[in-house]
């Protein structure tokens, strides 16, 4: 598995050498240790939750999937 150190995207396989999104060189991805803490940008999870709630409420009223 390869990782772009610029955009943090992961790519399966070892055949790619450059990121498909930004062209940066890829490095071998190291799996996180079991005790690794993942840090998200401030407010990221709150925004994701709000988006999920919006989609869920639209789905209940029948507007999202017509």
pLDDT bracket for residue 49 (50, 70, 90): confident
Element spanning 56, H or E: helix 44-61
User: How confident is the model at residue 23, as a pLDDT?
Assistant: 92
Other C-beta atoms within 10 Å of 9: how many?
16
DSSP assignment of 7-54 equals T--EESSS---B-TTT-PBEEEPPPPPTTPPPP--TTHHHHHHHHHHH
Q: Is the pTM of this model over 0.85?
A: no
Residue 63 reports pLDDT greater than 50? yes
**What is the mean pLDDT of the segment spanning 39-61?**
72
User: How confident is the model at residue 61, as a pLDDT?
Assistant: 53
User: How confident is the model at residue 66, as a pLDDT?
Assistant: 47
- Segment 2-16, tens digit of pLDDT: 988 898 888 887 888
In the chain, where are the structural domains located? 2-30+38-61
């Amino acid at each position: 598995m390869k990782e772009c150190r610029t955009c943090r995207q992961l790519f399966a396989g070892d055949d790619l050498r450059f990121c498909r999104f930004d062209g940066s060189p890829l490095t071998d991805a190291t799996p996180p240790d079991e005790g690794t803490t993942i840090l998200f940008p401030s407010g990221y999870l709150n925004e994701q939750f709000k988006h999920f709630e919006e989609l869920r409420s639209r789905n209940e009223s029948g507007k999202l999937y017509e």
